[in-house]
Structure 1
Amino acid sequence: MVQRLVVHAGFHKTGTTTLQNTLAAHRDLLRPHAHVILRADMKGLCEATRAYSKTRTDFDLGLVAYEAALLAEGWDSDTVLMSSEDLSGHMPGRHDLTDYSAAIALAATMTDTWRAACPDIEITWVYTTRAAVPWLVSCHVQHLRAARMTLDADAYADAFAGSADLEGIAARIRDRVVDADVHTLALEAHRDNLLEPVLALGGLSESLRMHVTPLPPANTSPSAETIAEMLALNRSDIPQNKWRAAQNALNRRSN
């Protein structure tokens, strides 16, 4: 029976991909000590959480509970480590979302579901955060790449400044989810090894954690020239299929 669950649920653009890549690369090392679950291992739950962030309906929140319960049936270790920013819903800026407020009900629902499945489980939520200015810049670039964003960086920062209070959303989650611990980890404080404190919260020994080598940063920002090209491409009138091909070429060039 699982005894400890650590859920890293975002937020987007806070070093999450690097953390997840490091977890994936060390899955075999960690397997005797923890069951690692990444987005590919919980597609149904991630699709449900993203859907709820758009609709905010009781039906979609019920689907989140269903998928969370289904996932718990496959836990096969005393310790489970989960990581996906999708567990907090879509990134602000997508689907007319202006903040992460959906993450509050999502965390509460999943906590209640897993507590019902495993009454004695110790649940810890972890949210990685980032200072407002660089976070907004990084989100803007992500939207340029993925969503045909036409706002420039300054206009985006003005329009979505309210979404950057990541610590504030985490505090609201902490107030709502009284049956679990809620931690935040600032990217600026843990950039060299963001995964290490997550593993520590999972109760994994220091001697084991020393063998987990952080991978290089992923999804780094492209050059200012490439960002300008992306914005111009998004503002153009080319068809969507040609836009995607051109945008993919720019992404490959910047990696």
Structure 2
Amino acid sequence: MRILVHPGFHKTGTTSVQYGLDRNAAVLADRVRVLQANDFPKAITAARRHTAQPAPRRLRNYASGFAEAVAPLDPADARPLLISSEKLLGWIPGRRENWGYADTPDFMERLADVLIGHFGEAAEITFCFTTRAAEDWQRSVYWQNLRSMRITEDFETYRARLAEGAQLDAVVAAVRARLGGRARVMARPIEELSGEPQGPLGAILRELGVAADDLVPFKSYNMQPAGAAEELLRLNRSDLDDAALTETKRKLLQDYQEAGLTRQAAERSGGG
């Protein structure tokens, strides 16, 4: 049986992949089994708690939460399995004083343990990380966190704190070393996937041997409008109280979305 885990990274096309899976659920149902974030909430909670404050019991909870999601799956089903969620890596860097992916090898080792335990040693497991050039990734993380947090630092100041987290290829290498021969570990830069049919989702499905040429077109809704980061920074630095700031930012982002400034065709993009 073939299994592919796409655990991110954050801000590397994951939203596009997940939108595409949801949009094409009926088309793909006979071809591939899919697990996404809603299928393993306990694992996500444990991952976030562990990245904020590491503890062995949280890793155990992570594994058991993921095992609950996998348990109903029939190992005899011939369809491959695709697991996609950046939330399996815990908080996005910049949240809860987590600035990188030091815990990722531990997380992926637990996932491999659960998958092999359920599907057997013969399962062909691939961990496929989508990656992104360091500065582009830092800008995207900055934009994401500006929206949800009261960050008052400009980008150049903030990006210095993300320097270690931006070394995504080093994290992939650490996961590969940790898993050894138990699973294949690979990286696909989203810059190389923007021209592929159906973008990152198409590339991931093809890694599983799943046909993707007839997928329904879909859009990504996580793009950054020009000048938006500067406007959010201005609001974060204002004297608005927290409740007023949250509402003002919500309305601003809604205006951007309604104007069509936060989306682009995902089949030719590496957004999200």
* Map 1:1-255 → 2, pairs under 5 A: 3-76=1-74, 77-78=77-78, 79-119=80-120, 120-178=122-180, 179-192=182-195, 193-204=199-210, 208-224=211-227, 226-255=228-257
CA distance 1:218–1:185, change in 2 (3 Å): farther
Distance 1:125 1:111 in 2: 9
Structure 1, residues 35-58: CA drift from partner, whole Å, max 9, x if none? Answer: 112212222222222222222210
Residue 241 of structure 1 aligns to a residue in which SS? helix
Residue 36 of structure 1 aligns to a residue in which SS? strand
Stretch deviating more after TM superposition (20-29 or 41-50): 41-50
Are the equivalent residues in 2 in contact too, given 1:223–1:254 (CA < 8 A)? no
- Alpha-carbon shift at residue 110 of structure 1 (Å): 1.2
Distance 1:28 1:20 in 2: 14
AA in 2 matched with 1:74: P
Structure 1, residues 93-152: CA drift from partner, whole Å, max 9, x if none? Answer: 111112111111000111112211221322111111010111111111111001221111
Are the equivalent residues in 2 in contact too, given 1:195–1:214 (CA < 8 A)? no
Residue 57 of structure 2 aligns to a residue in which SS? helix
Residue 220 of structure 2 aligns to a residue in which SS? coil
Stretch deviating more after TM superposition (170-179 or 237-246): 237-246
Question: Where does residue 262 of structure 2 map in the other structure?
Answer: none
**RMSD over aligned Cα, in angstroms?**
1.5
CA distance 1:17–1:38, change in 2 (3 Å): same
Distance 1:172 1:68 in 2: 21
Gaps (5+ residues) in structure 2? 258-272
How many residues are treated as equivalent by the alignment? 249
Structure 1, residues 44-91: CA drift from partner, whole Å, max 9, x if none? Answer: 222222222222210000001111111111224432111110111111
Identity of aligned residues (%): 29
Are the equivalent residues in 1 in contact too, given 2:41–2:65 (CA < 8 A)? no
Are the equivalent residues in 1 in contact too, given 2:16–2:219 (CA < 8 A)? yes
Are the equivalent residues in 1 in contact too, given 2:19–2:219 (CA < 8 A)? no
- Alpha-carbon shift at residue 214 of structure 1 (Å): 4.9
CA distance 1:214–1:7, change in 2 (3 Å): farther
Are the equivalent residues in 1 in contact too, given 2:42–2:61 (CA < 8 A)? no
AA in 2 matched with 1:180: A
Distance 2:194 2:73 in 1: 30
Are the equivalent residues in 2 in contact too, given 1:141–1:227 (CA < 8 A)? yes
Distance 2:87 2:105 in 1: 13
Normalised to the residue count of structure 2, the TM-score between the two structures is: 0.87
